[in-house]
Amino acid sequence: MLFSKYKWQVQRPEMQTASMLAKELSVSPFVAALMAGRGIRDSEEGRQFLNGSLEHSHDPYLMQGMAEAVPRIRKALEDQEHILIYGDYDADGVSSTSLMIHLMRHLGASYDIYIPHRSNEGYGLHNHALDWAHQQGVSLIITVDTGISAVDQIAYANQLGIDVIVTDHHEPPEQLPEAYALINPKIPTCPYPFKGLAGVGVAYKLAQALLGDPPKEWLEIVAIGTIADLMPLIGENRILVKHGIDSMRQTRFVGIRSLLEVGGVEVDKVNAVNIAFSMAPRINASGRLDHAGRAVTLLTTESPEDADRLAWELDGLNKERQQVVELIVQEALGMIGERYGAGELPPVIVVAGEGWNVGVVGIVASKILERFYRPVVVLGIDPETGNCKGSARSIPGLDIYEALCACRDSMDHFGGHPSAAGMSLHRDQLAAFEQGLHEFAGQVLREEHFVPVCEADAECTISDVTIEVIEQLDQLGPFGMANAVPKIIIREAMVKEAKKIGKEGKHLKLRLQQNQEQLDAISFGMGHLADILPEGTKVDVLGELSINEWNGSRKTQLMLQDISAPYRQVFDYRGIQQPVEEIKRWRTELEPHLRCPAHRSAIVYTRESSPEIKSQLYEMCLWVYDRNAGVLPDNDAAEEHGADDISVLFVLDVPETAEQLQTLLTVFQSVPNIFLVHPTRMPREKLLIPSRDQFKQLYILLAGMAASPVSENEVIARLRQKTALSSRMLAKVLDVFEELVFIERSKGLVTFIPKPEKKPLDASRHFRELSELAEMEQHLLHADTKQLTHWMMSRSKGVS
């Protein structure tokens, strides 16, 4: 049984609405059903969703503070004041700053930019930067993607005689700064109808207010920041991003073109997914490992040579970032394991490490959240000052910004969104900070919040999934937050082939079949699942549809995101080398799919097995074969946890008798997954299921060779020559004949007894045991995988 990582929920659209949309919008029933499932209720809303133009964007002057900001900027232009654009170091901040540079150039302004260094300065406005601006003669600062929480800093700017216009989209605090103008749609008193703009979206609305109709290509930069900052691609964001992507396919920005080419993206086919997974990480890498100014230069340069150089530099930084992230993730996981072991995790995981690069702690938090599915805070500690800077990532059940507000006294600074936030504090406050988060989360989170949910748009069969259907789905793009790529579920598909692909076999490729229709499925980072998806496995799969184009051929393809096999399974790994090492690897890699923590994993073996079992697998439940009891617990874990809640059973050795096997299957009758990793035997040791004719032949042969005492070894050797039976089989035949008093054995000699009392073979206990043992070994040691699996399933159900 493979457990799915997520709880699957299928959208059930109102079919009457779907029929109406299909008819009035001239879209396929499938696309109409997806639109209805995403909350579109009438044809006008549907038309705007499919074909929304910039005319549908909102008047920028609806945004509070815009009426004050625009005249102040125009006055600065008229008076030739020196303006400072103050941005942030993430991809949204880089995009916002870049957009404002294009705006300042367009307006002919005298300007400078300032982006704080993530590691050396941290997020937000800083007084030392204001001092520098004052020295440069700056009289107006325009913040982008930052500033809404800078109460003290803006008060300091006011003292210096510098006006500050804040453009931001982060959650506003209770006390707002006394800026010249505050432009943020999330301010409670702001009447702007769309609250989901990115920082670059707010900056674009300022450009709209100043220019009326900014150059269309600026929307390319808006698209980058909006997608990178995970803003919802609905409403006005959808319009801005859609037009931005359309423009990007013929981009005149040399930096954008170079960045796409370095990422292996065809410029004329770029989409939101490419921006999210190719462009955004490289832009973010600049601010994480170096200074975000390098990415700003890339997005604003007019030199193709500089663009190529900078794009490759960002690519190198991104590769370095990936390595740094992996190292910190492993350290953090080690800390979590050491601190909590196999026990219950707290409602919020907080980890902090000295020397951790604070530029990547947000990515680390995301990866740990994905592993444990609970809110995570990761902090880097400066070993000299003790100052900590960190990032938080949360799950839908907990607004992390609210949680931080509840323990604000332990932090120097914080800010963010419901799902992501940043903070700084001293290491002396870590314990209080963590305790405060636990107390808040403990009141909010319930058990159901810790089960990740994945929403699917439809259930299909493979025959439903055609190239035409996939092409129709493009009408719903661009895809991103709040408008995800459509996900489908296919149930009871048969695995025809499963193999590991890519470097080091990290990825998985499946060929699935229903009736006569086949579909390829790809899953990145799930190559280890090939170990537990043998041919013939029936699976349910969830994923996103795509078209695979190769050498002029186009085929449908499923990008697999989750999989389950909702029935008991037996996995055939007989004769595998180093089974103890493989068991450790399987448990680590397959835990999310087999749900096999140490206390739910059992191993059964003989007492003669290698001592490394107890030394290396001591945390697991160890069981040993016993001639009288069948199987017995062999360590404290097995005694404590018993067999009822075991998820995976590893059979390390073949049972010595059929009774032991039946006892094993009875004790572990509810276990959903059985791995057979026992060694195989050489054919010369094979037992055959005995027949009466076979025993009659052996009886006659014995009568001819053991009328007088003969060495048992010689008897067995001569019988092997005449019958080709194994020595092991013949020794057990002699046990039967001795029990029936057909022969006598004494001091290694065998003597045939003439005219013995007639007895039926099945009167012999040894004969019955040999029959059962030979049948058991025939399947456990010599049957093919399909026969073995069927036999094990039958025995598990009590059918022999």
| Pair 179, 312 in one domain | yes
- pLDDT tens digit string along 49-62? 999 899 999 999 99
Question: What per-residue confidence (pLDDT) applies to 313?
Answer: 97
Q: Determine, yes or no, domain membership for 193.
A: yes
Question: What per-residue confidence (pLDDT) applies to 22?
Answer: 94
Q: What's the mean pLDDT in 350-379? A: 95
Report the percentage of the chain scoring pLDDT > 70: 99
Q: Look up the CATH number of the domain holding residue 84.
A: 3.90.1640.30
Confidence check: pLDDT of 615 > 90: no
Tell me which H or E stretch contains 322. helix 304-340
Q: Determine, yes or no, domain membership for 366.
A: yes
Q: Which residues of 8-40 are buried (b: 16+ CB within 10 A; e: fewer)?
A: beebebeeebbebbbeebebeebbbbbbbbbeb
Question: Which residue, chain included where needed, has tokens 């035409």?
Answer: 468
The angle that helices 712-723 and 727-739 make with each other, rounded to 10 degrees, is: 120
Distance from C-alpha of 782 to C-alpha of 326, rounded to nearest angstrom: 43
Find out whether the peptide bond into 185 is cis, omega within 30 degrees of 0: no
- pLDDT tens digit string along 705-744? 878 899 999 999 999 888 888 898 999 999 999 999 999 9
Least confident of 71-75, 180-184, 500-504, 795-799: 795-799
| Pair 132, 272 in one domain | yes
In terms of residue numbers, what domain contains 175? Answer: 56-316
| Pair 139, 199 in one domain | yes
Query: pTM for this one?
Result: 0.80
Q: Determine, yes or no, domain membership for 668.
A: yes
Q: Determine, yes or no, domain membership for 797.
A: no
The confidence band for 798, taking pLDDT boundaries of 50, 70 and 90, is: low
Q: Which of 416, 450, 484 is the last residue before a domain boundary?
A: 450
Q: Is the dihedral of CA 97, 100, 106, 110 positive or negative?
A: negative
| Pair 268, 360 in one domain | no
Confidence check: pLDDT of 799 > 50: no
Q: Determine, yes or no, domain membership for 740.
A: yes
Burial of 188 (0-12, 13-18, 19+ CB in 10 A): exposed
Q: Determine, yes or no, domain membership for 699.
A: yes
- pLDDT tens digit string along 592-607? 899 998 899 999 999 8
Q: Which of 451, 580, 622, 594 is nearest to 533 (CA)?
A: 594
Distance from C-alpha of 54 to C-alpha of 534, rounded to nearest angstrom: 52
Q: Look up the CATH number of the domain holding residue 31.
A: 2.40.50.460
The confidence band for 767, taking pLDDT boundaries of 50, 70 and 90, is: very high
CB 663 within 8 A of CB 629: yes
Q: Which of 102, 115, 114, 307 is nearest to 221 (CA)?
A: 102
Q: Which of 620, 649, 680 is the last residue before a domain boundary?
A: 680
CB 625 within 8 A of CB 631: yes
| Pair 241, 133 in one domain | yes
Confidence check: pLDDT of 225 > 70: yes
Q: What's the mean pLDDT in 299-312? A: 98
Q: Determine, yes or no, domain membership for 796.
A: no
| Pair 701, 664 in one domain | no
* AA identity, residue 248: M
Question: What per-residue confidence (pLDDT) applies to 402?
Answer: 95
Total structural domains within the chain: 5
Question: What per-residue confidence (pLDDT) applies to 157?
Answer: 98
- pLDDT tens digit string along 129-183? 999 999 999 999 999 999 999 999 999 999 999 999 999 999 999 999 999 999 9
- pLDDT tens digit string along 82-127? 999 999 999 999 999 999 999 999 999 999 999 999 888 888 999 9
- The DSSP secondary structure of 661-699, one letter per residue, reads HHHHHHHTTT-SEEEE-PPP--GGG------HHHHHHHH
- pLDDT tens digit string along 544-574? 999 998 888 899 999 999 999 989 999 999 9
| Pair 487, 635 in one domain | no
Classify strands 673-676 and 569-572 as parallel, antiparallel or unpaired: parallel
Output the average pLDDT for the chain.
93
Question: What per-residue confidence (pLDDT) applies to 800?
Answer: 42
Structure tokens at 106: 């367009």
| Pair 375, 486 in one domain | no
| Pair 153, 250 in one domain | yes
Q: Which of 564, 583, 604 is the last residue before a domain boundary?
A: 564
Cross-strand partners of 632: 624
Q: Look up the CATH number of the domain holding residue 400.
A: 3.10.310.30
Q: Determine, yes or no, domain membership for 333.
A: no
Q: HSE (CB half, 13 Å, CA atoms) of 357? A: 20
| Pair 462, 431 in one domain | no
The angle that helices 91-107 and 199-211 make with each other, rounded to 10 degrees, is: 10
Distance from C-alpha of 76 to C-alpha of 109, rounded to nearest angstrom: 8
| Pair 699, 727 in one domain | yes
- pLDDT tens digit string along 383-418? 999 999 999 999 999 999 999 999 999 999 898 889
| Pair 444, 462 in one domain | no
How would you list the strands of the sheet with 743-746, edge to edge?
Answer: 710-711, 749-752, 743-746
First to last CA, the chain: 22
